[in-house]
Amino acid sequence: MSRDDKVINMTRFGEIVIWLMKTSWPLYAAVIAVSNVLGAVATMLFFHFLIPMDEKSLLSGTAGKFPLIGIAYLIIAVVLSSIVTFWLFRPVLVWQHEPETHDPNMVRNLVMRIPIYQSLLCIVVWIFGVFIATAQAASVSGRLGLVVCLVSILGGSMSVLLTYLAAERLVRPVAAAALAQRFEDSTLEPPVTQRLRATWAVTSAVPLLGICLLVIGQRSGYFTADANELLPAILALGAVSLLTGFVAQTLVIMSVVDPIHELQEAINSVRRGETDVTVDIYDGSEIGVLQAGFNEMMRGLKERQRVRDLFGRYVGTEVARRALEERPTLGGEDRSVAVLFVDVIGSTTFAVNHTPEEVVAALNEFFEHVVEVVHRNKGVINKFQGDAALAIFGAPLPLSDAAGHALTAARELRNELKDLELACGIGVAAGHVVAGHIGGHDRFEYTVIGDAVNTAARLTELAKDTPGRILSNAATLRAANEAEQARWTVMKSVELRGRNEMTQLARPIRPTLADRS
């Protein structure tokens, strides 16, 4: 490695260290160190002051300075474990500082295993400590070495459990960032049942086991003390059980209850109508699967809503709703409906004199008014045919007074469209049609077929050359309510193209005083 490369690496290392001090990692390191130091100190104090054995006095004499050795090892262990922890989790630190430098899958797995790796590191440190302490005590007495070994193992098990629970809690923000995209593996952390059982075993079973060993040791002659002299040690173990049990149970409860509360709040948000709702994924067990499953469900719900909105824009809201609620099939049913047909006048000439962009913009502005008026009057835009639009009143959902709503929509369209650049003819007809899905099994559409549709189209052709450019027929007026009938007047009878009978026309009259009021 060249000198420049070394300088670059040292510079990058310095940047990471400076960035590290601004994050929550110092708190993480402090909590882990304190939990293990307190565990080691409590174990040593418990042995020196509460275990009644005459051989203890020899540990600070001919066998060596036992307390000093323990303190020296504790300091060395903290320093070495800090270095190993930094080296082990350095890819995570670099990834947080420069996310593009590492594989997300590798970082995801490493982040979720931080509590486990940290606990394994603590186990290794405690194993060496137990070995050193046991060897020193065994040089004085075999039974003293056994007692030191058991006490150290029991104290170390509590420290390791608290280390895991604290690490799992403190690493959540990093885990949420690492699992923001996806989560598929539920074996990155111990299951909830194992956490609960381990917490019970260490915080309840271990102190009880210690009490049992004290009693057995006193009865078997291991300890040179009567039962009353063992009482302080038993009370100390009980206090440790209460304290560590409370802390450990609180942490393990939070690891289970916090995600449940977050899911509950997210579900309540969805019930209020919010769709852009997600929860953070920060657990590597089955809880993480639930969190990821909720987010996946919300993505599916948003996609379904997007498809429904898009589908509704193409076929109409009511048609889309029925298609999603029930499986559509080919065929139709007889329905009594009213049909409104709108056709632009002179669209060919308009297209010749304007650019395609201008034509599309004008048609979109024109049909925007048509759609608004039709929907306002409970109609459905069935289809757009180039420069024409077909609206249905009374299908797919039944509508009372379909003819009245269609005639009202026609009159309102006259006022809405009068100031636009494009002019149109409007025809309205009511009658029985077949409404349903027409086409093939792989491609079909909802439409209406019948005499009313043909009549509305023929009336639209005549309306283009009629003052007011709106026409209906007498049969449609008779099907409407009386208030709407009063706003129309009947005209002469004509023979519509393609029909062998006469049709009496009708058109709107001028606004009445009632309309103006």
Q: What is the pLDDT of residues 34-89, one digit of tens each?
A: 888 888 888 888 887 888 777 766 665 544 466 677 788 888 888 888 888 888 88
**Among residues 271, 286, 305, which one ends one of the domains?**
271
Q: Is 161 found in the same domain as 51?
A: yes
Count how many domains the chain has. Answer: 2
**Among residues 271, 289, 313, which one ends one of the domains?**
271
| pLDDT at 75 (0 to 100) | 87
| pLDDT at 407 (0 to 100) | 94
Do the beta carbons of residue 223 and residue 230 sit within 8 Å? Answer: yes
Q: Is 481 found in the same domain as 400?
A: yes
DSSP letters for 296-352: HHHHHHHHHHHHHHHHHHHH-HHHHHHHHHS---BEEEEEEEEEEEEEETTHHHHHH
**How much is the pTM?**
0.62
| pLDDT at 3 (0 to 100) | 52
End-to-end Cα separation, the chain, in angstroms: 91
Q: Is residue 122 part of a domain?
A: yes
Q: Is 266 found in the same domain as 145?
A: yes
Q: How far apart, in whole angstroms, are the C-alpha atoms of residue 166 and residue 39?
A: 14
Average pLDDT of the chain to the nearest whole number: 81
Question: Quick one: which of 237, 172, 178 has its CA closest to 210?
Answer: 237
Instruction: List the structure tokens of 152.
Output: 């150290």
User: Lowest mean pLDDT: which of 234-238, 307-311, 419-423, 492-496?
Assistant: 307-311
Q: Is 148 found in the same domain as 40?
A: yes
Torsion of CA 17, 22, 25, 28, to 10 degrees: 130
User: If 0-12 CB within 10 Å is exposed, 13-18 middle and 19+ buried, where does residue 200 land?
Assistant: middle
Instruction: List the structure tokens of 64.
Output: 């060596």
**Among residues 240, 271, 302, which one ends one of the domains?**
271
Q: Is 344 found in the same domain as 253?
A: no
User: Lowest mean pLDDT: which of 40-44, 187-191, 338-342, 431-435?
Assistant: 187-191
Find the mean pLDDT for residues 89-108. Answer: 76
Torsion of CA 189, 190, 192, 193, to 10 degrees: 170
Q: Is 486 found in the same domain as 345?
A: yes
**What is the CA 493 to chain-centroid distance, rounded?**
64
Q: Is residue 80 part of a domain?
A: yes
Q: How far apart, in whole angstroms, are the C-alpha atoms of residue 181 and residue 163?
A: 28
Q: Is 363 found in the same domain as 246?
A: no
Do the beta carbons of residue 84 and residue 121 sit within 8 Å? Answer: yes
Domain with 345, as residue range(s), is 330-516
pLDDT of residue 12 exceeding 90: no
Q: How far apart, in whole angstroms, are the C-alpha atoms of residue 395 and residue 447?
A: 9
Q: Is 394 found in the same domain as 493?
A: yes
Q: How far apart, in whole angstroms, are the C-alpha atoms of residue 17 and residue 20?
A: 5
| pLDDT at 6 (0 to 100) | 47
Q: Is residue 306 part of a domain?
A: no
Q: Is residue 296 part of a domain?
A: no
CATH number for 382: 3.30.70.1230
Q: Is residue 284 part of a domain?
A: no
| pLDDT at 514 (0 to 100) | 43
Q: How far apart, in whole angstroms, are the C-alpha atoms of residue 267 and residue 386?
A: 45
User: Lowest mean pLDDT: which of 9-13, 362-366, 465-469?
Assistant: 9-13
Find the mean pLDDT for residues 12-31. Answer: 60
Find the mean pLDDT for residues 83-107. Answer: 79
| pLDDT at 186 (0 to 100) | 61
Q: Is 370 found in the same domain as 457?
A: yes
Q: Is residue 262 part of a domain?
A: yes
Q: What DSSP designation does 390 have?
A: E
Q: Is residue 397 part of a domain?
A: yes
Q: Is residue 312 part of a domain?
A: no
Q: Is 253 found in the same domain as 350?
A: no
In sign, the C-alpha dihedral spanning 17, 18, 22, 26 is: positive
Q: What DSSP designation does 442 have?
A: S
Do the beta carbons of residue 448 and residue 337 sit within 8 Å? Answer: yes
Q: Is 442 found in the same domain as 372?
A: yes
| pLDDT at 100 (0 to 100) | 72
pLDDT of residue 189 exceeding 90: no
Q: Is 343 found in the same domain as 266?
A: no
> What's the angle, vertex CA 422, arms to CA 418 and CA 424, rounded to 5?
75
Instruction: List the structure tokens of 79.
Output: 């320093």
Do the beta carbons of residue 433 and residue 450 sit within 8 Å? Answer: yes
